[in-house]
Structure 1
Amino acid sequence: MATLKELQENLTPQQQMAAHLLVANEFSGKEKRSQEELAEEIGITRQALHQWRTQNVNFIRYQAALTDMKLDSYRSLVDSRLMALIERGPSNNGIPSIKAIELYYKLSGRLVERREVTQFTEQQEGRRRLTDEEVAQGLEELNDLLN
């Protein structure tokens, strides 16, 4: 996987600025700016910004890497809130949140969801396989019922 620096090298300064502004805008909450406002600040058209965001693989990867960095910066806050839910429960009633405990164990790798599919043979299920003639006869009977 390419580093942030390697991704950055494939973009113009305007594209780098655009990616930073887009990520900051997404995390800004209620104070979001329009794509047109961002494009104007960067010095490009809204269409050019849209094209970078949707068709330029290097730009998309760079913006995703910036978003990952931003999310990583919230890790200690999220972890502390998770632990508070475990310790005090969701409504501070002293009862731990089972969902929070489950999430903690999943994140720590101690709880893994596993689904097992078991395939039975027809003999194990106590059934026999129908012949083509039996299937055709059954279809005829269904058609007669429908008509």
Structure 2
Amino acid sequence: MLFRKLTNHSKVLFYVTRFINFKPNTFVAMSSEVDKAQSAYKSKSTIFDKIISKEIPADIIFENEKCMAFNDVNPQAPVHFLVIPKKQIPMLDDASEGDQSILGELLLTAKTLAKQRCPDGYRLVINNGKQGCQSVYHLHIHIIGGRQLNWPPG
């Protein structure tokens, strides 16, 4: 009986908090990223293509002929930047053997910049597909650091 009352109370509390849109910040961020990933799709042009072509501004921290790095607009840690290839590769699953030099360049660039900005350690993240929470279909590496990170991440 008590369990049923608590269960019903929890359901009411759940619906009330949903109704007034009260959610902890981390849940809101995670939920909105999941929502973005679930509604994202592969397209010919992405926001990252517009950053590469300088159609929209970004806080660019590195650029060469193969890749670009810029600070994330919604950082999840004191240091959070992205490294992207200039070639449009929608997701890691779409990379081919011919992309080996680009993939290597992405990792080496990520390592070099991360060591400069996060001398005590960092995490590399590649989201791949909807369940991997990929919200922009242009391959990118998240570099996160500047604080003690937790494990497991997901």
TM tier relative to shorter chain: under 0.3
TM-score by length of 1: 0.24
Could you say which structure has the higher helix fraction?
Answer: 1
Which has the larger Rg? Answer: 1
TM-score by length of 2: 0.23
